[in-house]
Chain A
């Protein structure tokens, strides 16, 4: 069996394991064992991939495999990975692992929760390993559907409304994607669904590209929180349970950026060049607008959701800059944002679990009460505002430098506008830290609260180590990504 197929297969096995488990102990055992195996496998994949590249393998996709599963439309289960997908798989594995620990003390219908959670990971992993458009789309749908139930059943607040809104908006996006995929398939002659083959054919007429590019880009953009299709994100995240927020903001939103790059831009390059300016404007708005909105929010999750709009906007912004440096930065930003936002949501969940409020006006002086969680929060905040030594700085600097390499005024101006987000981010992060962590604790109820438990410490520590590791020694990840980005960018520009 191809090593890649293990990634969707293991969560499926975990579902089976969960199904037959009888008590919480067994459920936890299955989850920890499964997610540890996934993490170990992802780390192994990184080394194996780097090893193969070091041996001089130059093929675009490695570990490829292909099986026909629907002949009339030439749909294959084709898999393969390049540096970008390897990075994303590693990210997903880390988040599934930490998400398990972050929902350790779940009480309501634990078994069902984790089963849906595993199904979600099946979709996510499947998406990142797919090279076939239709298979990719199928996994995309597999990742979306469980979200509805996870929020609707295990969520909080206006959970039905949020779940419905999130699902409908994302489904709207996936309808666009499906149309776009069919457009690409028939536009390229209707012979293959394989991404690399379509790219190699490179025969979609410009007039058709101009129709399908915006459709596919918006379709994936909805998931990547592209302005003005981002409004599912604040409500959805606010209502979702912790681990779901982590996986959703941490990984699922990356599907959007990944799809925009791999499908919309890679397969429709000429239209991408012609029409990119429209989306550059939209993403620039996302970046600044999200940051400004975050400044006045009072709910911890809303702050982080708008912050995600801003940071994910930067991902799309960077890939539209169409050069290797910026696109490498975009993938770095996906990784970095995934880890940071997962850390944030994990910590918010832990604080909410204790104080039962996410309103920053009701929280204060938590540093004294729960030092471990508070220090974690400060670290997450500093990483979020792009402090050197954490992954955010590396990603943002790569993006800004890359974006600035376009030598026309338009790109320069939007780059400078996007740069201002580093100041606004500092404003809302420090406001938040100052309000909820520092000062004296005004609520006597909160004084009795306990600091992090061991399972929470594992989740937080793993994420912090990943963020700092990426931030302190970025060069290997950067090399791995830029290697693969180069060929895609070269294809787009020719």
Chain B
């Protein structure tokens, strides 16, 4: 399996090559290099998946974990060292497929979307960098390798959000994304330090003896690691960077901020799942509550946003909440006895990546057509862009959880797992699923139906996107249509054994009903041209509406803390203290020396009369002293 090194090496080389040559390369050449490399990576990933799952289960009935290659990168002590390697197990192989597929689609799509943009070469170079980092993250053989690539995806995200670097909002958004996630990564790092120290290695499976010794510290270490995961996966209250990250080019939002990087936190929890279950089940349940609250919060906020990318961003946050909840409600590693959530979470991660990438790419086509992110510039677009319309509808139905689309199957498993955990959790998540259906169809109707902004459209007639953009849409829509029928449990489950998915029709029935209610409500409120009901509700609950529109003022709180507290109350006084007290003391010392030497200098004036006076005075003084004693 040594060839897997190419999966990381090819995009790295592509990044270095296109990055170094930059403008000396023709834009299309840079694009082709990136795309061909990604296609090769996708091919290798599929090949790896086929040969990995094709090799079958071992004697104990699980797909064996394999290390394709592994090398020491930086040794700390004899036992403690950072390795770089390539780990193959069901979830890493699944992630390989997800990442390479979406990345390839985005590479193709960007030919159309980014056409004529300045910095086309730079864009493709960064895409390659991101692809490499994300792949390195999921195949990490140890927690520190994960952290290394974790930081690298962070910086790729920073560079891509800030792609339009002359735009003020983009600069602020990229900065925010990096700093908020950096702050979360601090938790991750300290968690790793604790983990490394107590278990004596950075391995995911340090052995039961080492774990036994580290037992008391593991919950703390895992909890801190989850903070890192919560930062990347935009869990409340570290979610604030994700909506702003929409300032980046839309295909980037699809790849990084919908399908791959933002689920890194989910992947982290899944990766550490055996440890969570074995040593820190309480911490795992805390993640479930965090996830549930985030899912609810984001779904409410998504209902009132007017920028279509923001709606999708909050929808992403909410859906990641679902995945975290699914992991968090697990009570054992047996999928039949409380461990169903693991499989459900990974399944949802897979299906969500496809349909959310589809939604974002669809949104990209729309933005491309009307040159605005605002819903007010849209309406009635179904006539102009049929392919986008149909594929977008498919994705909306999938995320709403309508049979037989992929989202139905994965969401159903999540809800079943939640009901297993507690009826309250199940009910809450079902309600949020209903909200999801509502806000997605509010979005759908506002874009494709409803009142058309005729003025704007007359000025600039919307048009269907070119083939390079619609082909990825069609491909992803096809995946969304059929992905639900993949026997996912056969490949991924919490104990590694084959798990046969069966649909619990009571749960499924309830969730379908709720979804239909959500859709119906949205239809009633937003399908018509006048929107009387929607506006009426908004004005009746104007306080709530406003609060939700401003995302419950969480950003303002952060703004206050960073500017008024950290900058104004810590940094500025420290800088003042340094200049005036610490340095002031040094200056005082200098001035003191100068004035003291001035005083002494007076004695050595070269003036004979003065010397005589001093001499006589001294002699007299001495005589007095001698006489007295």
Q: Check if A295 sits within 8 Å of B567, measured CB to CB.
A: yes
Cα(A478)–Cα(B182), bound, Å = 26
Contact of B74 among A324, A385, A475 (CB under 8 A): A475
Interface-located stretch among B189-197, B208-216, B543-551, B553-561: B189-197
What 0/1 pattern do residues 385 to 399 of A give for CB contact below 8 A with B?
Answer: 111110001100110
Q: How far is the CB of A326 from chain B (nearest CB, A)?
A: 9
With a CB–CB cut-off of 8 A, which chain A residues contact B148?
388, 393
Q: Say if the beta carbon of B186 comes within 8 Å of chain A.
A: yes
With a CB–CB cut-off of 8 A, which chain B residues contact A230?
582
With a CB–CB cut-off of 8 A, which chain B residues contact A361?
none
Interface-located stretch among A176-184, A197-205, A424-432: A424-432
Q: Check if A423 sits within 8 Å of B183, measured CB to CB.
A: yes
Q: Say if the beta carbon of B571 comes within 8 Å of chain A.
A: yes
Q: Check if B80 sits within 8 Å of A293, measured CB to CB.
A: no
Contact of B166 among A296, A365, A407 (CB under 8 A): A365
Q: Check if B189 sits within 8 Å of A422, measured CB to CB.
A: yes
Q: Check if B190 sits within 8 Å of A419, measured CB to CB.
A: yes
Q: Say if the beta carbon of A231 comes within 8 Å of chain B.
A: yes
Q: Check if A394 sits within 8 Å of B583, measured CB to CB.
A: no
What 0/1 pattern do residues 97 to 115 of A give for CB contact below 8 A with B?
Answer: 0000000000000000000
Q: Check if A389 sits within 8 Å of B152, measured CB to CB.
A: yes
Q: Check if B73 sits within 8 Å of A475, measured CB to CB.
A: yes
Q: Say if the beta carbon of B77 comes within 8 Å of chain A.
A: yes
Q: Check if A228 sits within 8 Å of B73, measured CB to CB.
A: no
Q: Check if B77 sits within 8 Å of A439, measured CB to CB.
A: no
* 8 Å CB interface, A202-244 against B: 227-228, 230-232, 235
Q: Say if the beta carbon of B207 comes within 8 Å of chain A.
A: no
Pick the most buried of A296, A367, A405, A407: most chain B CB atoms within 10 A of its CB. Answer: A296
With a CB–CB cut-off of 8 A, which chain B residues contact A325?
76-77, 80
Cα(A325)–Cα(B197), bound, Å = 13
Q: Check if A427 sits within 8 Å of B179, measured CB to CB.
A: yes
Q: How far is the CB of B159 from chain A (nearest CB, A)?
A: 9
Q: Say if the beta carbon of B162 comes within 8 Å of chain A.
A: yes
Q: Say if the beta carbon of B337 comes within 8 Å of chain A.
A: no
Q: Say if the beta carbon of B155 comes within 8 Å of chain A.
A: yes
* Residue total for B at the interface (Cβ-Cβ under 8 A): 49
Q: Check if B567 sits within 8 Å of A296, measured CB to CB.
A: yes
Cα(A195)–Cα(B77), bound, Å = 27
Cα(A60)–Cα(B182), bound, Å = 41
Q: How far is the CB of B220 from chain A (nearest CB, A)?
A: 12
Contact of B590 among A165, A324, A474 (CB under 8 A): A165
Q: Say if the beta carbon of A415 comes within 8 Å of chain B.
A: yes
What 0/1 pattern do residues 574 to 609 of B give for CB contact below 8 A with A?
Answer: 110010001101110010000000000000000000
What 0/1 pattern do residues 319 to 337 of A give for CB contact below 8 A with B?
Answer: 0000011000000000000
Q: Check if B586 sits within 8 Å of A169, measured CB to CB.
A: yes
Contact of B582 among A228, A427, A440 (CB under 8 A): A228
Cα(A295)–Cα(B158), bound, Å = 19
Cα(A232)–Cα(B172), bound, Å = 34
With a CB–CB cut-off of 8 A, which chain A residues contact B189?
400, 419, 422
Q: Say if the beta carbon of A58 comes within 8 Å of chain B.
A: no
Q: Check if B75 sits within 8 Å of A292, measured CB to CB.
A: no
With a CB–CB cut-off of 8 A, which chain B residues contact A405?
77, 197
Q: Check if A165 sits within 8 Å of B578, measured CB to CB.
A: no
Cα(A397)–Cα(B75), bound, Å = 11
Q: Check if A426 sits within 8 Å of B179, measured CB to CB.
A: yes
* 8 Å CB interface, A391-418 against B: 393-394, 397-398, 400-402, 404-405, 407, 415-416
Cα(A400)–Cα(B80), bound, Å = 13
Q: Say if the beta carbon of B175 comes within 8 Å of chain A.
A: yes
Q: In chain B, what residue has the closest Cβ to A382?
A: B155
Q: Check if A420 sits within 8 Å of B76, measured CB to CB.
A: no
Q: Check if B152 sits within 8 Å of A475, measured CB to CB.
A: no
Q: Say if the beta carbon of A168 comes within 8 Å of chain B.
A: yes
Cα(A431)–Cα(B179), bound, Å = 10
* Residue total for A at the interface (Cβ-Cβ under 8 A): 57
Q: Say if the beta carbon of A297 comes within 8 Å of chain B.
A: yes
With a CB–CB cut-off of 8 A, which chain B residues contact A388?
148-149, 151-152
Q: Say if the beta carbon of B168 comes within 8 Å of chain A.
A: yes
Q: Say if the beta carbon of A434 comes within 8 Å of chain B.
A: yes
Contact of A438 among B152, B162, B182, B570 (CB under 8 A): B162
What 0/1 pattern do residues 365 to 378 of A give for CB contact below 8 A with B?
Answer: 10110000000000
Q: Check if B75 sits within 8 Å of A393, measured CB to CB.
A: no
Q: Check if A420 sits within 8 Å of B186, measured CB to CB.
A: yes
Q: Say if the beta carbon of A289 comes within 8 Å of chain B.
A: yes
With a CB–CB cut-off of 8 A, which chain B residues contact A430?
158, 174-175, 178-179
Also in contact, A423 and B165, with CB within 8 A (given A398-B74, A400-B193, A434-B175): no
Q: Check if A394 sits within 8 Å of B179, measured CB to CB.
A: no
Q: In chain A, what residue has the closest Cβ to B197?
A: A404
Q: How far is the CB of A464 from chain B (nearest CB, A)?
A: 11
Q: Check if B151 sits within 8 Å of A401, measured CB to CB.
A: no
Cα(A365)–Cα(B75), bound, Å = 41
Contact of B571 among A292, A393, A394 (CB under 8 A): A292
Cα(A419)–Cα(B172), bound, Å = 25
Q: How far is the CB of A262 from chain B (nearest CB, A)?
A: 22
Cα(A382)–Cα(B155), bound, Å = 9
Q: How far is the CB of B83 from chain A (nearest CB, A)?
A: 11
Q: Say if the beta carbon of B72 comes within 8 Å of chain A.
A: yes
Q: Say if the beta carbon of B572 comes within 8 Å of chain A.
A: yes
5 nearest A-B pairs in the assembled complex, by CB-CB distance = A231-B583, A438-B165, A295-B571, A388-B148, A404-B193
List the interface of chain B (C-beta within 8 A of A). Answer: 72-77, 80, 82, 144, 148-149, 151-152, 155, 158, 162, 165-166, 168, 171-172, 174-175, 178-179, 182-183, 185-186, 189-190, 193-194, 196-197, 566-567, 570-572, 574-575, 578, 582-583, 585-587, 590
Additional 20 contacts, C-beta under 8 A, given A295-B575, A368-B166: A165-B590, A169-B586, A230-B582, A289-B578, A296-B572, A367-B165, A385-B182, A397-B82, A398-B74, A398-B76, A419-B186, A422-B186, A422-B189, A423-B186, A426-B178, A431-B175, A438-B166, A474-B73, A475-B72, A478-B75
What are 5 A-B contacts with C-beta separation under 8 Å? Answer: A292-B574, A295-B566, A296-B571, A296-B575, A401-B193
